[in-house]
Chain A
Amino acid sequence: MSVDFWLGVGVIAGIYGIFVLGLQINVGFTGLLNLGQAGFMSIGAYAMGMLVTDAGWSLWWAMPVAILVAVVAGILVGLPSLRLRSDYFAIATIAFAEIVRYTFQNADFAGGNQGIIGFDQEWRDVSDWLLDRFTRIGLGDETQLPLFLAIWITFFLCLIGLRLLQRSPWGRVLRAIREDEDAASALGKNVFAYKLQSLAIAAALAAIAGFFLSFNVTYLYPSEFDPTFTFFGYAVLILGGFASYGGVALGAVLLWSLMEGLRFLHLPLSTGQIGSLRFVLIGLILILASMLRPQGLLGRKAEMQLRQ
């Protein structure tokens, strides 16, 4: 097992990590069943891709603006749907994610199924410059290393930011909403506004994860962002732990080590079958973890009081 391989696993795990931090603030801390996270991710990534390739922007300007676009999308989705009951909210968000994917697949402006390429030159330059520096310490062959570092540094910055937010009065209100919405609103808190902010933060994190995902695969195509991505995210969430930001890192690394490690078992199966097996495994993890240890590895049972 080479360093290369584990860097690859780390890259995917880190992308999921950032993505799931957003789910964590929604599901773990606000009690919102957001199933549309992949939709925000693709909006962010496509906004960046189109600003660079169609509008000729610099990548470094396109990224913050694309985060804003995702946040606006989060607010637009949240405004009507957050007034719904929690299960209806879940359906509305997955419908949103499917509409987004469907639009990018079929609309003329987004490259359709061919997708978008050639938006990441500026990132490549940075990556090459870093690799150049790494050669001096003998790491020049690890082409994934710059992306790996960028992703995990971003992850920990987001993690610290979210932890600070969570300790603030704002974070305590979120928790209160999760525990008992009516009580929170009886205390004069604007429950709806807090939920909307939670969703907007999740959308921003999804967009950031989307940038890294597109750097990793070097192009953007719609099926990258189908709802399965969100479901994988939930597997990470429940593995790592409910209402625990640190658990997200653990869950992401565990899940992807397991997924990628499968190939070392030398099963007498075709590549397609191993692919299917991975999904079956994720499904089983979701079922078993929810039934046996719903709070996850690092989560606390006392935090599991999601309202009915």
Chain B
Amino acid sequence: MSLSKNDKRRGGDAPPFLSGGWRQLPPVAFLAIALLVIVLLLAVAVGPIAAGQATMTGLVSAGYFALGAVGLTLVYGVLRLVNFAHGDMLTFGTYVTLAFTSLGVPFWAAAALGMIVTALLAVMLDKVIWEPMRRARTSTLQLFLVAIGLAMVLRYSVQFFAGGQVRSVGLDTTSSVDIGPWHLGSLQFVVMLVGLATILITGAGLRYTRLGKEMRAVADNIALAEVAGIDTRRTIRITWAVAAGLAALAGILYATAIGSINPNFGFTILLSLFAAAVLGGIGNAYGALAGGIVIGLAQEWSTLFFNPRWKPAIGFAILILTLLLMPRGIFGRKKARS
């Protein structure tokens, strides 16, 4: 097969007249500047109060989109599989957390337990399902069907035990904080801080720790990582644990910010997570974090112009546009066209 046009356009040498300009910026800086420009434009268009409010609310959801998407993208790296069960890992972790709180465990401790249980579940699933399939070099179709089946087993097991009804998280949702002229529920504020802090920690962990480097190496190219002396089996297990733990945290943050959930919520935000992962370039962990932030902000910004009920549609639109216009995402460099 010949090189597609994209390979020449993106990977190759930049034309000389661009080489010294904005193309030299690292993508993160480029993205940050782009988002800042949008905030300023919005402030001009709808006034600073409204624009700032939407931006802050957007940063709340940015946390759970980013943390959900980073797991999706890491798992894609190790399995070459778009994991349809990932959304239901969010659901699972959140319901485990709620189960612990109903036993009287304080919320933060229950959340930690929920993350651990979800991580253990993922490692176990890797042992029983994914590793044998990896070794047998099963086809994409089989991996897909197993992931879909797993998604259904997880979601409806939760529903079997907890019921399908909407369930309140049971936290105080009335208090709020003022930051300058902007308001935010106290819980949302906490979610925003925890979310953004975890994004930074995850990003730094992937960048600077040995484990993080190994995970990225495995996600990038398993064979090459193996040759370089990385214990890929161990790294894959840890990747699953990290992905699932972060998924559980994302679910818990979502539940805390919204205040109530039902067993379908993980699946319903899965497409937004896909959007974030694809936007960031699937397989690229930083890309997924950045993509999550973009999706969170974009959905809230959209409410400045459209009825809020169309919010999820913004995620779909970004997903479709990314797939059509730049399927390798902002950060990605993998070939996306067949």
Contacts and interface: CB of A to CB of B under 8 A. Distances in A.
- The answer to whether A and B assemble together is yes
Interface of A: 27, 33, 80-81, 83-88, 90-92, 94-96, 98-99, 102, 106, 181-182, 228, 231, 234-235, 238, 272-273, 275-280, 282-287, 289-291, 294, 304-308
B152 interface: yes
Interface stretch (B48-56, B202-210, B319-327): B319-327
Interface in B128-159: 129, 132-133, 138-142, 144-146, 148-157, 159
Q: Give chain B's interface secondary structure class.
A: helix
Contact of A291 (B129, B160, B336): B129
B316 interface: yes
Contacts of A88: 278, 323, 327, 336
Nearest to A191: B338
Interface residues of B, number: 46
Nearest to A27: B141
Given A98-B271, A182-B1, A287-B153, A85 B336 contact: yes
Given A88-B327, A94-B271, A95-B274, A181 B144 contact: no
Contacts of B81: 87
A92 B156 CA distance: 25
For B139, B146, B148, B151, which residue has the most chain A Cβ atoms within 10 angstroms? B148
For B146, B278, B310, which residue has the most chain A Cβ atoms within 10 angstroms? B146
A276 B262 CA distance: 13
21 contacts: A27-B141, A80-B323, A81-B324, A83-B337, A84-B323, A85-B335, A87-B144, A88-B327, A95-B274, A234-B145, A238-B145, A273-B160, A277-B156, A282-B152, A284-B149, A286-B146, A286-B152, A287-B146, A290-B146, A305-B139, A308-B140
Contacts of A81: 323-324
A98 B313 CA distance: 9
Nearest to A279: B156
A85 B313 contact: no
Contacts, number: 139
Nearest to A31: B141
Given A83-B337, A272-B163, A307-B140, 13 more contacts: A80-B324, A87-B144, A238-B145, A276-B164, A277-B156, A279-B155, A280-B156, A280-B160, A283-B149, A289-B145, A294-B139, A304-B141, A306-B141
B146 A291 contact: yes
Q: Give chain A's interface secondary structure class.
A: helix
B250 interface: no
Interface of B: 1, 80-82, 129, 132-133, 138-142, 144-146, 148-157, 159-160, 163-164, 271, 274, 278, 309-310, 312-313, 316, 319-320, 323-324, 327, 335-338
A85 B337 contact: yes
A272 B164 contact: yes
Contacts of A272: 159, 163-164
Given A33-B141, A85-B336, A98-B271, A90 B82 contact: yes
A88 B281 CA distance: 11
Given A94-B271, A277-B156, A102 B278 contact: no
B309 A99 contact: no
B316 A98 contact: yes
A99 B316 contact: yes
Contacts of B154: 283
B115 to A, nearest CB: 23
B316 A95 contact: yes
A247 B271 CA distance: 31
B316 A286 contact: no
